[in-house]
Amino acid sequence: MINFMNNNRNIIGTLSILAMFSVWSNVLTETIEATEVAKVVSKAKEDQLEKYENATSLSDKDLKNLLQLVGFEGQNLKEAWAVAKKESNGRPFAFNGNTSTGDSSYGIFQINMLGVLGLDRRDKFELDHNADLFNPVVNAQIAYHMSDGGNDWSSWKGLTQRTKQWMEKFPK
């Protein structure tokens, strides 16, 4: 009888180990599959972003798509689009060099690079030159970071009346 109970314990122990191994194996497989899916999605996003790399002009829909690709979503996407339209009308090569108004601003979001601010931003965002901001992908990615994903537009004086007017023209 004792041998029978010991054998049952051994069998139960072995089955428990096999069950745990099976669960662990499934989790590992699912994790690997999720990682592979994420890589495919990331590659697809990179491929789509290439379309906008160094674009010289952007339609309203192109601007919206670019902003989605860098991460803006929902209401923040609409606000980002409107801010870019207010700042530059979505023009990648827009430049305001009026230093008397405190500007040396580049690209679709008119990111200001005047003086020490420019030095700090070049370092923080690993830019070689201010002109790197004429690349709409780089400009949008930095604006995404600066605005906390579209939650803080204070670097652009918030959501002004002009921005709100642009929001009404957001492409569907």
pLDDT at 161 (0 to 100)? 97
- Which one-letter DSSP state was computed for residue 133? G
Residue 81, both tokens: 């689009």
Q: What is the pLDDT along the chain (172 residues), one digit of tens a residue?
A: 666 556 666 666 665 565 555 555 555 555 555 566 555 557 788 889 999 999 999 999 999 999 999 999 999 999 999 999 999 999 999 999 999 999 999 999 999 999 999 999 999 999 999 999 999 999 999 999 999 999 999 999 999 999 999 999 999 9
Domain ranges of the chain: 1-50, 60-167
**Strand ordering across the sheet containing 95-96:** 95-96, 105-106, 111-112
User: pTM of the prediction?
Assistant: 0.77
Distances (CA, A) of 10 to 18, 19, 21: 12, 14, 16
pLDDT at 69 (0 to 100)? 98
Give the integer Cα–Cα distance in Å for 104 and 111.
8
Residue 89, both tokens: 């009308």
Instruction: State phi, psi for 96 to the nearest 5 degrees.
Output: -120, 105
pLDDT at 49 (0 to 100)? 96
Residue 26, both tokens: 């499934």
- Alpha-carbon torsion, ordered 137, 140, 144, 147, to 10 deg: 160
**CATH for 60-167 (3.40.225.10, 3.30.56.10, 3.40.190.10, 1.10.530.10):** 1.10.530.10
